[in-house]
Amino acid sequence: MAKMGLDRHTLLVAAAEIADESGLDSLTLAALAQKLKVRSPSLYNHVNGLPDLRAALTVHCIRLLVETTRDAVIGKTGDDAILSLCGAYLRFARSRPGLYEAFYKVNTQRHEELESAKQELLNLFLRIMEPYGLGETETLHAIRGLRSLLHGFASLEQHGGFQMDLKVDESLEYVLRAFLEGLHTSKKPIHK
Confidence at residue 141, expressed as pLDDT on a 0 to 100 scale: 95
Confidence at residue 105, expressed as pLDDT on a 0 to 100 scale: 77
pLDDT bucket at 110, cuts 50 / 70 / 90: low
What does pLDDT average to over the chain?
89
Confidence at residue 71, expressed as pLDDT on a 0 to 100 scale: 96
Q: What is the pTM of this model?
A: 0.87
pLDDT bucket at 28, cuts 50 / 70 / 90: very high
Nearest to 55 by CA among 89, 11, 20: 11
Calpha distance 94→57 (Å, rounded) = 17
What is the distance, to the nearest Å, from the Cα of residue 42 to the centroid of all Cα atoms in its chain?
29
Calpha distance 71→125 (Å, rounded) = 13
Q: Are 56 and 113 in contact (CB under 8 A)?
A: yes
C-alpha distances (whole Å) from 101 to each of 3, 27, 77, 92, 157 are: 29, 12, 29, 11, 12
State which amino acid sits at residue 132: Y
Confidence at residue 173, expressed as pLDDT on a 0 to 100 scale: 92
